[in-house]
Structure 1
């Protein structure tokens, strides 16, 4: 997060939330310190969630090495004997 205006925890201080690469934001993009001394979020506090690309299927007559599905993960594909891989061995 970063402060856009004001000082830490003072009335009208506005904070913008961003996430590191590989994560996406849930909740409000910004909050502001209100006159009653509380932050302006409603139900959900802003937080970052890791990006998941979902499961990669194992190719027919082949194998997949790698089970991670998060941002930056890789999988390696190989073929059974007698078969040839079309496309990249790494995704």
Structure 2
């Protein structure tokens, strides 16, 4: 997946049926994640070489942290065959936002 500079973040969501892992290939990615009740919210900047595990039910959103360079990541749904089986739950746009730089 490629995140273009200055683009809107992906929709805030969680996966009801599976865990997810990401490997950051290039660039810098701003990630906000929290428990399903929005507690324990944390924001981190991911860089090339970072590996992230997101458990089922954890709320998350990502955005490119740069205004000038692309960022790319590989992601994997764990325990389901495809995105349709993941049980994505989309939240209100303003519920939990990762802003670019």
TM-score range, shorter chain: under 0.3
Higher share of residues assigned strand: 2
**TM-score, length basis structure 1:** 0.19
Which protein has greater RCO, CA pairs closer than 8 Å, 6+ apart?
Answer: 2
